[in-house]
Amino acid sequence: MIRVRHRSSCPLRWADLDLLGHVNNVRYADYLRVGRDDLLRASGIDPDPTSLPVRRHELTFLAPLMFSREPVVVESWFADRSERGAVVEHEILGGGSDPVVHLRARTFLGDAAPGSAPVVVRSAADRHYALQVRAGDLDVTGAASDVAFVEFFQEARIGFFDRIMRDGLERGKVRWVVAQTDIDYLRPVLNRPAAYDCFTRLARVGNKSLTVESVIRDETGADHATARVVLVVFDPVANRSVEPPPGYRALLETFVAPS
């Protein structure tokens, strides 16, 4: 299969930035959607998510992306394609003269098989986040968009770490950035009065990283989406990953929980 790269551009907004002045990890999924929809249209495929829904995202963050007046470049191409599904790969490059690849990603659409099982996270009160869907989270299907799920899991993850910090980890002692995000989309999440349950667990602590797993679940016990996110300790001055301060890793390990 000939893999022709389709190039799209997406302007940055000040609201795209996080506390470090980097583009927030959620916004990358927004840029990918621009590139994906452009690729599908250029290939004669209707990007309507009702006919070709997202099944899985795999996002690998390679280098921080700072604000620029120049739009970012999204290169997208088909790694696999059939009548009922597709696997799209992407690279996001900085705007203007920036040749750096800031993110690589893979998106599974329609009947494309992701090839890996969603994570398993049990319900537990100390891991709970009440997810209230907003009207702005919805796409043309009337359900939450694939981009919104990245934000849902970020909010639940922040809430989870807020609880850990209250239990002994000093707020702001280290800076964490997202290195990898894998999301499996299982069932639609709708805008409704009742909140969904999102449960998060700390699955692993490495020398410079940690792995967080989450699930969005309804009151029947059905899972709607799961995520596995790897974060690394980041030094904004040296602009690289580093080891946490002495004792920090050992303290984090006490919060590692079974699935």
122-152 pLDDT, tens digit per residue, is: 999 989 999 999 999 999 999 999 999 999 9
Q: Is 172 left (phi over 0), alpha (psi -120 to 50) or beta?
A: left
Q: How far is 223 from 188, CA to CA, in rounded Å? A: 10
Q: Is the dihedral of CA 102, 104, 110, 113 positive or negative?
A: negative
1 pLDDT tier (thresholds 50, 70, 90): low
All residues at 6 or more sequence positions from 76 whose CB lies less than 8 Å from its CB, including other chains:
5, 6, 8, 32, 35, 36, 38, 39, 88, 89, 90
239 has pLDDT over 90: no
- Say yes or no to pLDDT of 24 above 80: yes
Confidence of residue 153 (pLDDT cuts 50, 70, 90): very high
pLDDT beyond 90 at 115: no
Q: Which residue has the higher pLDDT, 121 or 49?
A: 121
* Residue 166's pLDDT band (cuts 50, 70, 90): low
Q: Mind spelling out the 3-state secondary structure of 191-237?
A: CCCCCEEEEEEEEEECCCEEEEEEEEECCCCCEEEEEEEEEEEEECC
Segment 3-31 mean pLDDT: 93
Q: Whole-angstrom Cα distance, residue 140 to residue 175? A: 36
Residue 240 has pLDDT above 90, yes or no: no
pLDDT category at 159 given cuts 50, 70, 90 is: very high
Q: Which among 99-103, 122-126, 173-177, 195-199 has the top mean pLDDT?
A: 195-199
- Residue 169 — very low, low, confident or very high, per pLDDT cuts 50/70/90? low
Mean pLDDT of the chain: 92
- The reported pTM is 0.94
Listed range (18-22, 56-60, 155-159, 194-198) with the worst mean pLDDT: 18-22
